[in-house]
Structure formats: structure tokens, C-alpha cells
Amino acid sequence: MASTKKADVDAVVIGAGFAGLGMLYRLREQLGLSVQVFETGDDVGGTWYWNRYPGARCDSESYIYCFSFSDELLQDWNWSGKYPEQPEILSYLQHVADRFDLRRNIQFETRVTAAHYLEDDNLWRVETNLGEVVHARFLISGIGCISTGNVPDIPGRDSFKGDSFHTGAWPHDGVDFAGKRVAVIGTGSSGVQSIPVIAEQAGHLTVFQRTAQYTIPARHGTVDRRFLDEEVKPNYTELLEKARRSAGGIPVDFSERLALEVSDEERNAIYEAGWREGGHRFIFGSFRDIMANLDANHTASEFIRNKIRETVKDPNLVAKLVPTDHPLGSKRALIDTNYFETYNRDNVALVDLKTDPIECITETGIRTASGEFDVDIIVFATGFDAMTGSFFKMDIQGRDGARLKDDWSEGPKSYLGLQVHKYPNLFMITGPGSPSVLSNMPVSIEQHIEWIGDLIAHMRDEELDVVEAQAGAQAEWVTHVNDVASQTLYMHANSWYLGANIPGKPRVFMPYAGGVGAYRAHCEAIVDDGYRGFTLGRPAAQVASEHAAGG
């Protein structure tokens, strides 16, 4: 049968965070396509719409945490924080939506529940929670990598009579901690950021820690206006290009020194300087082998352990807070404001879940092996079902009845983190298999937006209707992603990068650890080779039906 259905729009984009907004702009303004964006929240912002917990901010410096598609936008916007805080990033994204009139193509408070590829029509049939159905030629996911919250299934969890919140779904009007007894479970990025702020507001705070963390002082403050006006704004083109070719998507130079080739004295002086300056510079500005060589890494890990021993006054707390079971940076590297200092406060206690595990949540608090902790509020800073969780919330079906949930049951498989074999015309912005969460996200997001936009423009120019990753190319990429990961220190910790935080999740390293610049070069080489590893053409079903009809 010949194709009967027509597309309602050229593209459906899922999500209105950085990825969805940028993709909408690119497709509508630069390619002239019709686009429908669906967004679960009632406004734009994605991550920065949902994560409103106290202390939430980004750990990329603000001047490089932005879109680059508009020079006027780069020049006009003035960040106030050195590290952008959640309200400021949200207002930036709201400004972008208003300035480029993006909201008119976004339907808010709408969740995509299913997306099925109709092979005969070469269309994606997209269904929402409101029962609407939209047919589109292309389906593009901008759902984010860290957007499905993980609230652990602790026995008795739902019996708690107080208030409980996950950091990634924080109430818009805030939480009043004044005089309250509060529990925070989790000491990842969200816990480390929120714990010092909650401690200042609460009557009493008990932190439940499963894994002790390395964290480096951020030395957060207001943005240096001279730096912004004289060094950043006149040089944005070069800075952005440097970020695009860098390892992590930030325009900085890594130190050339090796940690084991200097004296102990010199090494300590370099670490001290990095510690004083603060932020991720402590790592990239000190020695280039910290993240590559376990012995080198040990020197930096031990330096931080000593800082914890110096900062925290109670030796019992020191014993719990000093990380010993994984090297620095094998879990997400953290930067903080007053994290370890917070444990010197009289109103803060720490429970080490390694020796005193949670048995259950009761009506009045949390019971561990050693006793009962009565609290008014529980904050779950327990992270996310990262990279795959949000895909699995939708029923995604490709050709030949393929289901993404089944195809990824042993871990996500993709070609370049952009496409999946058997799912034609479906693109993922920062999907698993791309640098994504190991980079400054806007740089990686924009690279995908540009790459997808260029491919769609190429298809239009060449009158091609369908693109699909080839099975062999995908298998080779998955092997490459695993090979690169296996050579890194990331394999030395239980982290969400490996799915280790979610019981039963396959243990597979999900992002691409080869670096933003190297990845970009791969993507460019594939285009230069005529989109090597992708099959581009007209849909087989249509060609066959035209033949049958003598067309």
C-alpha cells in the first residue's frame, strides 16, 4: 500500500531545556521547518526548571555555559555569578525563549508517552499524555541525561508522615526549613550543594552518607566584570572554538606537568595554589596525569583527604568523611561552598550508611541499624536514573516492531550517541555514547544540534527521506566507547555513569570518555566520508510499493 498519512509537522522535539530550545531555533529559523516541541513542565528550562533545591548552581563558569548561535545574545547577556545559579540560568533560558519567540512552538504541560515509527509512511507517530497524536518526519529527543529522579525504594518510604522532596523535583515556592529537623540522603553534587545551605536554615540536619566524597572549594563569587568585558566578550569566537576542540568543553589549557616528576614540596605547593584558586582548575591546572594515572591521582586524592582532616574538627566525623574506596574523579568531580566546614556546626550530624545502613523509613523518620532518627523533612539527594531512564518512560518503537526498552535491555547502544539502528529519523541530543555528561553540556548540546541540522539540510538538498544508523557502525561505536572507558579511572568507582546507582541496571559505562574535541573530529570525519555508517535514502517500504504499482 502506498503511503497515505501526511506529516503534521516536519519535526517533533521532546523537551524545552537547552537542547530543545536550541534545536527548535535551528530547525525553524535556519532550516525553515515546522516544529512541535512538547515539554512536561509549564515553562522552558529543563534541568534548571526542575532542580530548584537550595544552593543549586552549575559548576561550569557562567561565561561558557550558554548558547553560541547568536553573537548578539553572547554580547548582551551579563551573568552575575562566577558559577551561574539556578534562578539565573532559568531566567537566561526564559530570555532566550522570549527573545527568539520560541514559545509559540512549544506545548507545555505535555508529556510524550509513546513514539512509533510507521514504516509505510516513514513518519513518527507521537502520542502525548493528553491523548493527542502528531505525525512528524523527524523525532528529536532533547530529554536530558539526568532528568528521571531516583527515589530509592526504601522499606516504609511511603509511610513517612512528614514532608519529603527529591532535589530534582523541588517545589517552586521553596521549602521552609526554619526550626525543622531535616534528613538529607545522598552526598553527590546535589547533596554537596544543598547540605551547607539547608544546615544554615534548619533546626537540625542529619546527613545520611553512603559514599564519602572528594570535593574542592568552588570559591564562588560574583562574576569578574573586567574578565567578562575585556577577556571574554571580545574573544568569544576564539574561546568557543577552543571549547569545542577541548577535552571537556571548556576553553582552558591543561597543565603539561606530570605529578610524579616534581618533588613532594613542589607538588604540594601546586596543589595548594589550585586549592586556593578553587574549582576544577585544581585538577586541570595542576598536573595532566591526575585523571589518567592511579599513582598520580593518589597524590591529589591524598591532598584532599588531608584538607578534610584539617577542616573537620571531630575525628569521628573525619573518619567517616575521608573517601578511601575510590580515586578522585572516578565519580563526578565535585566543587563546593563550605561543604566540609558544615560538619563543624552544632546542628549537623552525619550517619555513615556503610557501617550503619538504613533499615527502613518510619512514620516519623529514618531507622538505621543503630537507632531511630526522627525528622520533619526528608530530602532525597539520591540522584537519577541517568541517560536511559527518561527514554524508558516512553514507549519508543522503531521499524519491524523494535522496542527501545528491549534493544537497550543490556545497556544503551547507539551510533555516536546520535542515532539507534532500527529507529530511522530519530535523533538523540547528547544520547548515551556521546560525551554529554562528561562535558560542559551546552557545548555538546550545540554540537549535536548543528550536526543534526546539517544532516537534515543535506537530506533536503539531496531529496532523501530517511536516515538510519547501520548495525555494524553502531556495534563498532559501542565497542569503541567501551574500550575508551576501560582505559580511564571511571572504572574504579560505583557511579551513575555506570548505572551502579540503580538496582538491576546493567553495568555499562554510558557516556563517551574520549573527549569533546576528539568526538567532534569523529563526527566531522563521518560526514566527510558521506555520512559513513548511516544509510540515507528513500524508505524501503515506499520504494517497494511504487515498484508494485509500476511507479
**Interacting residue ranges for ligand N01, rule: CB under 6 A:** 58-59, 146, 152, 167, 185-191, 193, 210-211, 332, 353, 381-384, 437, 496, 501
Which of 330, 397 has the CB closer to ligand N01?
330
Which of 28, 332 has the CB closer to ligand N01?
332
Which of 383, 435 has the CB closer to ligand N01?
383
Which of 139, 146 has the CB closer to ligand N01?
146
Smallest distance, Å, CB 154 to ligand N01?
A: 6
Size of the chain in residues: 551
Which of 188, 412 has the CB closer to ligand N01?
188
Which of 210, 422 has the CB closer to ligand N01?
210
The kind and range of the H/E element at 184 are strand 181-185
- What's the distance, CA 402 to chain centroid? 27
Smallest distance, Å, CB 56 to ligand N01?
A: 6
Residues contacting residue 264 through CB under 8 Å, at least 6 positions apart: none
Compute CA distances 45 → 146, 380, 432, 452, 461, whole Å.
13, 22, 21, 21, 33
Smallest distance, Å, CB 383 to ligand N01?
A: 2
Smallest distance, Å, CB 380 to ligand N01?
A: 8
User: How far is the C-alpha of 279 from the C-alpha of 281, rounded, in Å?
Assistant: 5
Which of 88, 289 has the CB closer to ligand N01?
88
Q: Which one-letter amino acid corresponds to residue 116?
A: H
Smallest distance, Å, CB 152 to ligand N01?
A: 3
Which of 412, 424 has the CB closer to ligand N01?
412
Q: Which one-letter amino acid corresponds to residue 217?
A: P
Question: Which 3-state string (H, E, C) describes 57-97?
Answer: ECCCCHHHCCCCCCHHHHHHCCCCECCCEHHHHHHHHHHHH
Are the C-beta atoms of residues 415 and 477 closer than 8 Å to each other? yes
For residue 263, count other CB atoms closer than 10 A to its CB: 8
Which three three-digit cell numbers place residue 43? 515553562
Which of 131, 503 has the CB closer to ligand N01?
503
Which of 196, 383 has the CB closer to ligand N01?
383
Which three three-digit cell numbers place residue 304? 584532599
Residue in this structure with the C-alpha cell 551547607, named with its chain if needed: 196
Strands (E), 344-470: 348-352, 358-361, 365-368, 371-374, 377-380, 395-397, 426-428, 466-469
Smallest distance, Å, CB 176 to ligand N01?
A: 22
Which of 149, 537 has the CB closer to ligand N01?
149
User: How far is the C-alpha of 404 from the C-alpha of 401, rounded, in Å?
Assistant: 10
Smallest distance, Å, CB 272 to ligand N01?
A: 24
Smallest distance, Å, CB 306 to ligand N01?
A: 22
User: How far is the C-alpha of 488 from the C-alpha of 290, rounded, in Å?
Assistant: 11
Smallest distance, Å, CB 440 to ligand N01?
A: 10
Which of 186, 539 has the CB closer to ligand N01?
186
Closest residue to ligand N01, based on beta-carbon distance? 188
Backbone conformation region of residue 63, classed left if phi is above 0, alpha if psi is from -120 to 50, else beta = alpha
Q: Name residue 136's beta-bridge partners.
A: 9, 124
Residues contacting residue 221 through CB under 8 Å, at least 6 positions apart: 81, 82
Smallest distance, Å, CB 61 to ligand N01?
A: 11
Smallest distance, Å, CB 415 to ligand N01?
A: 24
Which of 105, 190 has the CB closer to ligand N01?
190
What three-state secondary structure class fits 140?
strand
Signed CA dihedral, 129, 135, 139, 140: sign only: negative
Smallest distance, Å, CB 136 to ligand N01?
A: 30
User: How far is the C-alpha of 21 from the C-alpha of 19, rounded, in Å?
Assistant: 6
User: How far is the C-alpha of 19 from the C-alpha of 525, rounded, in Å?
Assistant: 23
Question: Which 3-state string (H, E, C) describes 505-516?
Answer: CCCCCCCCCCCH
- Residue of 404, 432, 393, 427 whose CA lies nearest to 111: 393
Which of 191, 432 has the CB closer to ligand N01?
191
Please state at what angle helix 236-244 crosses helix 441-461, rounded to 10 degrees.
90
What three-state secondary structure class fits 310?
helix
Smallest distance, Å, CB 123 to ligand N01?
A: 35
Smallest distance, Å, CB 35 to ligand N01?
A: 28
User: How far is the C-alpha of 427 from the C-alpha of 424, rounded, in Å?
Assistant: 8
